[in-house]
A and B are shown apart, each in its own frame.
Chain A
Amino acid sequence: MGFFILSKKNRVLLGELVKTDFKLRYQGSVLGYLWAVIKPLLMFAILYVVFAKILRFGDEIPHYPVYLLIGTVIWNFFVECTQQGIHSIEQRGDLIRKISFPKYIVVVSATSTAVINVSINICVVIIFALINGVTPSLSWLMILPLLLELYLLALGISLLLGAINVKYRDIGNIWEVITQAMFYAVPIIYPLSMVMNSSVLAAKIIMLNPVAQVIQDIRYNLITTQAVTSWQIGGFWFGLISIAIVFIVLAISILYFRKRSKHFAEEI
């Protein structure tokens, strides 16, 4: 897709913006970049105490702590990516008003900090997995295409909602509420098998969400084949639906963004 082929000039610009974003992110904090790792670990610790120790979710799942950790890491990546992306155009308004450049660079650069963070976090998860006694295997490599799928979804959402957000600043708030709700609609803290025990249909609906599909597929490949994937509950064609959703969202977003971005400088 020509959309993502950058000229040399634009690659330099993207590189500089990413560098700046990353440098400034933890500016002035004592622990600096370590926060990229500490934050998801703390979030994991809370969820672990509440759901694994007190509510005793996931007793039947092997390596449940790692299972929970990878879920939160992937979820955080999705949330961080979309929230940075959606607000990126509005935040870079000063540049857009004064310089001519392809506007999607702003969105890509804003989401790339999340990509750097998730890469660091995946390394932490792998160390955890090894300590927890998960056997390494080649299927771990499947994480890469699955993360790419999730990134494309997050990028699509960022482009679409980011473009709308230029005119209607409500979108940022609405999306925050939607992600809050989605957190419970994605099997992060509870095992999907719990839902399946009461309703297979509900489990199927949950798994239509690409975020849920990616999280379960990564767990399946990384930790345990006991993680229920969408292929298992609905078969091959059912498994393709969520992937199709990603590409449909991305295609619509690109078309809409291309149409709107010409007018950002005037509207922002």
Chain B
Amino acid sequence: MSWSSDKYLKDMKEEVEKQSENDKIAISVQDLYKSFKLPTERAWGLKQAIFNRLKGIKGYKKQEVLKGINFDVKKGEFLGIVGRNGSGKSTLLKILSGIYLPDRGSVKVNGTLVPFIELGVGFNPELTGKENVYLNGALLGFSNSEMDDMYDEIVKFAELDQFMNQKLKNYSSGMQVRLAFSIAIRARGDILVLDEVLAVGDAAFQEKCNSYFQSLHGNQTVVLVTHSMENVEKFCDRAILIEDGKVACDGKPSKVTKEYLKLWS
């Protein structure tokens, strides 16, 4: 017996091996569909659920979020994903990260994917900075020895040397974000998936992040979801615009940002 998500990953791995001649593709998304059941009446309890069943209320309506998404990400490419609120960007990212299962279609990931749907997942205020780094690392799938290797760089980038043995609750919010962000960008995975997490900290730290992202060019596969057209033009090699659950535009950042701004005109 094996677990569904393990099996899912294994299937993905096998698919990838078959494809090994096509080595340049990091992520291949084909014909992806996803819908959610949205509860129409709150059914948080057994009572409500039974009542709804008796009254013949289905209790939910189906909302199609992704309606056939297709795209590839090449190795070393910096891909931006844009679109208005509720267009399905985050859902797409969660499927890429293996958090949601798609209804139909396939996602093939070539290499290890490190998802940052949110910064500092699992951060606990009662733990020290150091403990949080290792916990966060384990959640992202890194072993302790891998974290040992990355630890110094993370601390250095976050500029928090003297604070690592302090509890996180004694950090300022800026310090917390800096630590979380440093883990995100120092984490060594083949593919980095970031959801709207650029631009944290003060001006000096932002400047540092900017130059770091620019240095990534060509060396690291990154998928970035953002609302900042400035960042898309600055960092991305390519961008896609998601509108109404479909890829509305795919190409050069300048072209895609123009299309994006047209949505409101």
Contacts and interface: CB of A to CB of B under 8 A. Distances in A.
Contacts of B211: none
Interface in B118-148: 118, 121-122, 124, 126-127, 131, 134-135, 138-144
A217 to B, nearest CB: 29
Contacts of A254: 1
A266 B63 CA distance: 13
B1 A1 contact: yes
A179 interface: no
- Most interface-central of B1, B97, B118, B138 (chain A CB within 10 A): B138
Give the dominant DSSP class at B's interface.
Answer: loop
A170 B47 CA distance: 9
Interface string A1-14: 11100011100110
B2 A2 contact: yes
A2 B1 contact: yes
Contacts of A97: 99, 117
B45 interface: yes
Given A9-B141, A265-B100, A24 B3 contact: no
Nearest to A11: B143
A95 B3 contact: no
A221 interface: no
A258 B3 contact: yes
Contacts, number: 94
A16 B147 CA distance: 12
Interface in B1-32: 1-6
Interface stretch (A32-40, A73-81, A100-108, A200-208): A100-108
B68 interface: no
Interface string A236-268: 000000000000000000100010011101100
A33 to B, nearest CB: 15
Interface residues of A, number: 37
Nearest to B44: A169
B127 A23 contact: yes
A266 B95 CA distance: 11
A176 interface: no
A15 B138 contact: yes
A24 B169 CA distance: 13
Contact of A101 (B46, B127, B139): B139
B115 A8 contact: no
Nearest to A16: B138
A3 B7 CA distance: 12
Contacts of A95: 121-122, 139
Contact of A9 (B97, B100, B122, B143): B143
Interface string B36-54: 1000000011110100000
Given A24-B126, A95-B139, A265-B94, A102 B3 contact: yes
A86 to B, nearest CB: 15
A99 B115 contact: yes
Nearest to B34: A266
B46 A170 contact: yes
A258 B142 CA distance: 24
B4 A100 contact: no
Given A13-B139, A261-B4, A170 B36 contact: no
B101 A262 contact: yes
A226 interface: no
A8 B250 CA distance: 39
Contacts of B76: none
Contacts of B131: 20, 23
Nearest to B121: A98
Contacts of B1: 1-3, 254, 258
B201 interface: no
21 contacts: A9-B141, A13-B138, A16-B139, A17-B138, A23-B127, A24-B126, A94-B122, A95-B121, A98-B115, A98-B118, A99-B97, A99-B139, A100-B5, A100-B99, A101-B5, A102-B3, A102-B6, A170-B46, A170-B47, A258-B3, A265-B94
Identify the 3 closest CB pairs spanning chains A and B, nearest first: A100-B98, A16-B138, A2-B1
Interface of A: 1-3, 7-9, 12-13, 15-17, 20, 23-24, 27-28, 94-104, 168-170, 254, 258, 261-263, 265-266
Given A17-B135, A17-B138, 15 more contacts: A12-B138, A12-B142, A13-B139, A16-B139, A98-B99, A98-B118, A99-B140, A100-B99, A100-B115, A101-B5, A104-B3, A168-B44, A169-B45, A263-B101, A265-B99
